[in-house]
């Protein structure tokens, strides 16, 4: 060893790259001793560029290392390795390639089979067993020049020299562990599965397939966006559970992350056989709280309810969805279900002088709820501030002439007081409903000469007091179980639990899509506002919130230009406010493009559509080149993983989530 080699060896003796130096030394000794069964050498370089390489290899080499499947990792090492700073270039096998002799080889095969030769002479056999493989150049591992005790990875290579100056090896377990796990952040690490470069489990040699643990850092998910893509029943939810449990385990002491889970199938809140008869909740009882729409006897939970009065725009959609689900579709019901109610926020943002009409529409909706038996605290409704230049809380502000007409009272008689309670509002609107159904509405004009009611107003009045024999508001009574006048308090309670580092699971099993969207949106907005306020007041510190969305395509807006919604804001500003999200869906193309672009972590199982795979690789270049593998592999839990720590896609078999209660072995 010359003086330069001694200096380089001394400088990097504490660097993980020393594993490579040991590996190359072993390989050289195996070659000298002709121990071909231990040798990891696979061939030489035929062509080399900055992005791709073509290597030549032989059947005995491939068999000795157990096969070289598509997607497997190889390392390229300079011939004069002992004279330079130790480093290697990482290659990923993409396909079989042609060689300069491919046509001659095919001709030889043709002649052999035509003549039906029983044996091949050793010289011909030696010629035929050589072939070539195409590889992607993923980057290079080397000692960090500024910190020689640390390993560094670059997505490019520093130089390309003549192809004959390199050797290609199949890495052993220690090198594979270095390749897969050395770049992962040290803090909050957890093993999530085993390296699996191919779906086939059959090895070409007597050696068993390697089981290299694949590690992730939970820090990579905190404040970041994580996507789960793949067909149903192929392991997306299983990986989500592994991440949830990893978060709980890694923050056991600090308790610096709160998790909010929108559980549309009840699989995270309730025990089931596939998870060893435990759920995330039952395995972590002290740190998990369940809110359920429908209480299950075996699962402790808090009630999850809607306040139908305070969110008229969203709850109107929920009522319409449930009416449709129950098959209630007569003309007046359909007209009611199609009515558009403004949100209270929208009304309060309009000019004070133009609020009367939208407030009146909300009052009609309130009257229907009141008549149906939906309870409320009228004092709380008054605090919402629904007043205008003319309207005072429950007064729909009909002019005197119209009020006398609907009450059938002459000019000499005293009119009833304008409504000041919900009961009085119901009575006045019922009188108005009778009037519009028995008289032409063309003459119903407001003081400014405009029509008093639009079609939505008329549909609401008709539903409030329909013709004899029709149920009207009574048919809504079966939905009272989803309502609570104190429902607004649960948002505050959930935010407090998240601040305490608890995992809150919303059991939305059997709920309609409308109800799921409602809870997802109001809680997502509440979390965003809460974290934003902490950011503004400089109290965020090291606390994070992680949100979990199943069937995300039903929740997130499609690919449009609206970047003001809460989910788009998560994509743009979530990291700043320490908000992370894990979303699962079968179709990458259904997710807002802006959200996909901002997503840092990916777990991709089987996708059956080329369009879906292309959409993925178009927005995340790391998946380019492995599209065919994603299309073909269908084993549950077999994922292609890319995290914030990893610079290239790692194929892995995720562990099966089988939790145990704390303290159990």
Query: What CATH number is associated with residue 241?
Result: 3.40.50.300
- Average confidence (pLDDT) over 9-30: 88
DSSP 527: H
Q: Residue ranges of the alpha helices (H) in 394-512?
A: 400-407, 422-438, 455-464, 489-499
Q: Sorting pLDDT into bands at 50, 70 and 90, what band is 486?
A: confident
- Do 244 and 167 share a domain, yes or no? no
> 660 in a domain, yes or no?
no
Q: Residue ranges of the alpha helices (H) in 476-512?
A: 489-499
The pLDDT, as a whole number, for residue 662 is 62
> 201 in a domain, yes or no?
no
Q: Around Cβ 638, how many Cβ atoms within 10 Å?
A: 23
The pLDDT, as a whole number, for residue 591 is 83
Q: Is the pLDDT of residue 6 over 80?
A: no
The pLDDT, as a whole number, for residue 123 is 47
- Do 123 and 13 share a domain, yes or no? yes
Residue 37: C-alpha distances to residues 27, 31, 62, 64, 131 (Å): 11, 10, 11, 6, 20
Q: What are phi and psi of 437, to 5 degrees?
A: -80, -20
Q: Highest-confidence range of 30-44, 361-375, 551-565, by mean pLDDT? A: 361-375
- Do 136 and 233 share a domain, yes or no? no
Q: Is the pLDDT of residue 531 over 70?
A: yes
The pLDDT, as a whole number, for residue 276 is 73
The predicted model scores a pTM of 0.84
Q: Is the pLDDT of residue 565 over 80?
A: no
> 209 in a domain, yes or no?
no
Residues 58, 43: Cα–Cα separation, whole Å: 7
The pLDDT, as a whole number, for residue 108 is 66
Q: Sorting pLDDT into bands at 50, 70 and 90, what band is 338?
A: very high
Total residues belonging to the chain:
665
- Do 424 and 509 share a domain, yes or no? no
Instruction: Annotate 198-234 with b (16+ C-beta within 10 A) or e (fewer).
Output: bbeeeeeeeeebbebebbbbbbbbbbbbbbbbbbeeb
- Do 173 and 87 share a domain, yes or no? yes
> 469 in a domain, yes or no?
yes
| Domain count for the chain | 3
- Do 418 and 514 share a domain, yes or no? no
Tokens 């992680």 — which residue?
546
> 289 in a domain, yes or no?
yes
Residues 223, 300: Cα–Cα separation, whole Å: 29
Which two three-digit tokens encode residue 198? 């191919």
Q: Highest-confidence range of 30-34, 203-207, 272-276, 646-650, by mean pLDDT? A: 646-650
Q: Sorting pLDDT into bands at 50, 70 and 90, what band is 138?
A: very high
> 367 in a domain, yes or no?
yes
Question: Could you say which of 431, 461, 482 is where a domain stops?
Answer: 482
- Average confidence (pLDDT) over 63-81: 91
- Average confidence (pLDDT) over 560-583: 84
- Provide the edge-to-edge strand list for the sheet that holds 302-303: 213-217, 189-195, 650-654, 638-642, 601-604, 225-229, 579-585, 544-549, 257-263, 503-507, 288-292, 302-303
- Do 152 and 41 share a domain, yes or no? yes
Question: Could you say which of 482, 501, 530 is where a domain stops?
Answer: 482
Angle of helix 513-536 versus helix 312-325 axis, rounded to 10: 160
Q: Is the pLDDT of residue 561 over 70?
A: no
Contact (Cβ atoms closer than 8 angstroms) between residue 490 and residue 304: yes
- Do 101 and 244 share a domain, yes or no? no
- Do 248 and 166 share a domain, yes or no? no
- Average confidence (pLDDT) over 476-484: 92
> 196 in a domain, yes or no?
no
The pLDDT, as a whole number, for residue 86 is 92
- Do 505 and 558 share a domain, yes or no? yes
Candidates 560, 593, 596; CA nearest to 581 is: 596
Q: Is the pLDDT of residue 577 over 70?
A: yes
The pLDDT, as a whole number, for residue 505 is 97
> Vertex 272, ends 269 and 277: CA angle to 5°?
105
Question: Could you say which of 452, 482, 512 is where a domain stops?
Answer: 482
> 613 in a domain, yes or no?
yes
Report pLDDT digits (tens) over 383-405.
Answer: 999 988 887 789 999 988 889 98
- Do 51 and 149 share a domain, yes or no? yes
Q: Is the pLDDT of residue 110 over 90?
A: no
- Average confidence (pLDDT) over 526-530: 95
Would you list the DSSP string of 313-354?
A: HHHHHHHHHHHHHTT---HHHHHHHT-----HHHHHHS-GGG
Residue 179: C-alpha distances to residues 171, 275, 568, 649 (Å): 9, 31, 34, 11
- Choice among 217-226, 267-276, 432-441 with the minimum mean pLDDT: 267-276
- Average confidence (pLDDT) over 336-353: 93
The pLDDT, as a whole number, for residue 315 is 93
Domain range for residue 638? 220-305+486-654
Residues 567, 520: Cα–Cα separation, whole Å: 10
Q: CA 349, 354, 360, 365: dihedral to nearest 10 degrees?
A: -30
- Do 44 and 173 share a domain, yes or no? yes
Write down the mean pLDDT value for the chain: 88
């Amino acid at each position: 060893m010359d003086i330069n080699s001694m200096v380089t060896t001394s400088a990097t003796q504490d660097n993980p790259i020393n594993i490579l130096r040991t590996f190359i030394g072993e390989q050289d000794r195996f070659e000298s001793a002709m121990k071909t069964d231990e040798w990891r050498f696979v061939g030489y370089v035929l062509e080399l560029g900055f992005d791709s390489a073509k290597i030549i290899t032989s059947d005995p080499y491939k068999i000795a290392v157990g096969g070289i499947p598509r997607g497997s990792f190889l390392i390229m090492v300079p011939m004069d390795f002992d004279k330079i700073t130790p480093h290697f270039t990482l290659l990923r096998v993409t396909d079989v390639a042609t060689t300069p002799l491919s046509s001659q080889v095919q001709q030889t095969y043709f002649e052999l089979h035509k003549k039906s030769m029983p044996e091949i002479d050793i010289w011909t056999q030696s010629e035929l067993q050589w072939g070539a493989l195409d590889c992607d150049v993923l980057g290079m591992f080397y000692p960090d020049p500024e910190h020689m005790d640390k390993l560094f990875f670059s997505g490019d290579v520093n130089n390309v020299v003549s192809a004959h100056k390199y050797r290609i090896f199949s890495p052993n377990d220690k090198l594979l562990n270095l390749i897969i796990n050395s770049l992962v952040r040290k803090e909050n690490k957890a093993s999530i599965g085993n390296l699996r470069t191919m779906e086939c489990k059959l090895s070409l040699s007597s050696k068993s397939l390697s089981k290299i643990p694949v590690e992730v850092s939970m820090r990579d998910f905190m404040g970041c966006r994580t996507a789960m893509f793949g067909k149903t029943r192929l392991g997306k939810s299983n990986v989500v559970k592994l991440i949830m449990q990893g978060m709980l385990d890694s923050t056991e002491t600090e308790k610096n992350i709160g998790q909010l889970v929108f559980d549309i199938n009840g699989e995270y809140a309730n025990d089931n056989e596939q998870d060893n008869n435990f759920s995330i909740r039952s395995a972590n009882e002290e740190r998990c709280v369940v809110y359920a729409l429908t209480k299950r006897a075996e699962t402790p939970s808090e009630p999850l309810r809607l306040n139908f009065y305070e969110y008229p725009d969203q709850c109107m959609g929920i009522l319409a969805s449930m009416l449709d689900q129950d098959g209630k579709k007569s003309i007046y019901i359909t007209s009611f279900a199609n009515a558009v109610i403004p949100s209270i926020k929208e009304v309060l943002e309009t000019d004070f002088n133009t609020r009367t009409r939208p407030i009146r529409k909300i009052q009609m909706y309130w009257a229907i709820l009141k008549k149906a038996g939906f309870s409320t605290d009228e004092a709380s409704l008054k605090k919402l501030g629904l007043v205008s230049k003319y309207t005072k809380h429950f007064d729909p502000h009909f002019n005197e002439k119209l009020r006398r007409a609907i009450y059938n009272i002459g000019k000499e008689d005293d009119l009833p007081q304008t409504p000041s309670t919900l009961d009085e509002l119901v009575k006045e609107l019922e009188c108005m409903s009778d009037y519009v159904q028995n008289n032409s509405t063309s003459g119903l004009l407001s003081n400014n000469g405009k029509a008093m009611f639009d079609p939505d107003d008329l549909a609401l009045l008709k539903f409030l007091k329909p013709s004899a024999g029709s149920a009207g508001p009574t048919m809504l009574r079966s939905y009272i179980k989803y309502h609570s006048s104190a429902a607004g308090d649960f948002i505050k309670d959930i935010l407090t639990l998240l601040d305490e580092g608890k995992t809150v699971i919303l059991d939305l099993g059997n709920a309609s899509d409308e109800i799921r969207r409602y809870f997802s949106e109001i809680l997502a907005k509440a979390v965003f506002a809460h974290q934003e306020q902490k950011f503004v007041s400089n109290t965020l510190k090291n606390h994070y919130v992680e949100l979990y969305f199943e069937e995300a395509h039903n929740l997130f807006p499609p690919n449009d230009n609206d970047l003001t919604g809460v989910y788009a804001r998560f994509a743009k500003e979530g990291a700043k406010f320490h908000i992370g999200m894990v979303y699962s869906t079968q179709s990458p193309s259904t997710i807002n493009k802006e959200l996909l672009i901002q997503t840092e972590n990916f777990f991709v199982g089987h996708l059956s559509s080329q369009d879906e795979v292309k959409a993925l690789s178009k927005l995340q270049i790391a998946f380019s080149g492995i599209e065919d593998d994603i299309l073909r592999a269908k084993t549950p839990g077999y994922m292609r993983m890319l995290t914030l720590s990893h610079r290239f896609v790692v194929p892995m078999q995720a562990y099966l989530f089988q939790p145990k209660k704390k303290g159990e072995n």
